[in-house]
A = this chain, B = another copy of it.
Amino acid sequence: MARPEFKTPVCVLGLGLIGGSLLRAAVASGRDAFGYNRSVEGAQAARFDGFDATTDLTEALTRAAALEALIVLAVPMPALPALLTHIGQTAPECPLTDVTSVKGAVLDEVTAAGLQTRFVGGHPMTGTAHSGWAAGDARLFVGAPWVISVDDHVDPTVWSTVLQLALDCGSVVVPARSDEHDAAAAAISHLPHLLAEALAVTAAEVPLAFALAAGSFRDGTRVAGSAPDLVRAMCQANADQLLPRVDRAIELLAEARESLANNDSVADLVESGHAARTRYDSFSRPEIVTVFVGAENWRRELAAAGRAGGVIRSALPRLDTPR
């Protein structure tokens, strides 16, 4: 199966901001790439820009099956079950990945559709405040982290195929288990959104606040400017992981509140917060180069390397006979 010069064709399902950018980036990297979009407007806009796009899902999947293309799920969560059923009927052997911000819930859907053996989840951690085909950009992924799942079930060949796509798009790849990804995303993305919303609401209730608001408020509420539907969708899809993080933040604030009321001090929270942020600033990002994909324990080794901050910047060596 190792064909170093061959680049797997790509079939992108959903041509919104991420899917549309991915179709552009895949073509720019020299791949045979084509897309499907449910709405006529999105598909027409893509064709108008010179890309190969259809609103006929069966046509796209039949072609993907013939080419053994990598199918990329780039639709919102609610659209997944119907799409997966269709894939299972028309292109069940194709390697499969996704670009959704919650990994556990997607894996559950894929498993329910019986497609998990060819599936490796992914999450390019990028975006803009805009959406739709028109907002897309072939360079959206350049320099951005792209998480690729190393769950117990993942196949090394499919994994390497997804890795190559992410690298072709200019991303740095972070290997991670789906459950760990979701716990981390709750802490570094979904919780910050809820804190920003709470800050915006609290300040809006104080008469002079907006008149005096400056850097601390602007930074602290920036993500409250995100589209409410998107924020709701990602928080709600990751509720299991988000709830304990919200609880922890409330606990820390309540402790600081008690300490301020009773001892006139917020020392504990301020000092531990500063220490944590300082640790983040000095967090190193070593390159992962020594793991052989397909070797014994390769998934566990990659998960550990990713957890330690490791990133993949170029194709990893392969063992073509997995042990």
Interface residues of A (CB under 8 A from B): 125, 144-145, 147, 174, 176, 180-181, 183-189, 191-217, 219-228, 231-232, 235-236, 239, 242-243, 245-250, 252-254, 256-257, 260-261, 264-267, 269-274, 276-281, 283, 306-310
Contact B181 A265 (CB under 8 A): no
Nearest B residue to A183, CB-CB: B206
Nearest B residue to A220, CB-CB: B192
Contact B192 A217 (CB under 8 A): yes
Nearest B residue to A222, CB-CB: B219
Contact A192 B205 (CB under 8 A): no
**A269 to B: closest C-beta gap in Å:** 5
Chain B residues with CB under 8 A of A228 = 267, 270-271, 274
Q: Cα distance A209–B228 when bound, in Å? A: 24
Chain B residues with CB under 8 A of A227 = 274
Please tell me which one of the listed residues B184, B188, B269 contacts residue A198 in the complex, with CB atoms under 8 A apart: B269
Q: Cα distance A125–B214 when bound, in Å? A: 8
Count the copies: 2
Q: Cα distance A185–B210 when bound, in Å? A: 10
Contact A221 B277 (CB under 8 A): yes
Contact A192 B199 (CB under 8 A): yes
Q: Cα distance A278–B223 when bound, in Å? A: 11
Chain B residues with CB under 8 A of A195 = 195, 198-199, 220, 253
Nearest B residue to A206, CB-CB: B187
Chain B residues with CB under 8 A of A270 = 193-194, 197, 228, 231-232, 235
Please tell me which one of the listed residues B187, B231, B266, B272 contacts residue A209 in the complex, with CB atoms under 8 A apart: B187
**A64 to B: closest C-beta gap in Å:** 30
Q: Cα distance A273–B180 when bound, in Å? A: 28
Chain B residues with CB under 8 A of A207 = 180, 183-184, 307
Contact B273 A261 (CB under 8 A): no
Q: A125-B212, A236-B260, A307-B208 are in contact. Are A253 and B249 (CB under 8 A)?
A: yes
